[in-house]
Amino acid sequence: SMAIGDMVFAPIAPGLAARFGPKIVLPSGIGIAAIGMFIMYFFGHPLSYSTMALALILVGAGMASLAVASALIMLETPTSKAGNAAAVEESMYDLGNVFGVAVLGSLSSMLYRVFLDISSFSSKGIVGDLAHVAEESVV
Q: State the sign of the Cα–Cα–Cα–Cα dihedral 31, 35, 37, 42.
A: positive
Q: Give the pLDDT confidence of 98-114 residue by residue, as tens digits.
A: 999 999 999 988 888 78
Q: Provide the pLDDT for residue 111.
A: 86
| C-alpha–C-alpha distance, residues 21 and 17, integer Å | 4
Residue 60: pLDDT band (50, 70, 90) is: very high
The domain spans of the chain are 1-76
Taking 3-state DSSP, the helix, strand and coil percentages for the chain, each rounded to the nearest 5, stand at: 80, 0, 20
Q: Provide the pLDDT for residue 116.
A: 76
Top pLDDT among 132 and 102 is at 102
* Average pLDDT score over the chain: 89
This prediction has a pTM of 0.70
Least confident of 32-36, 68-72, 85-89, 110-114: 110-114
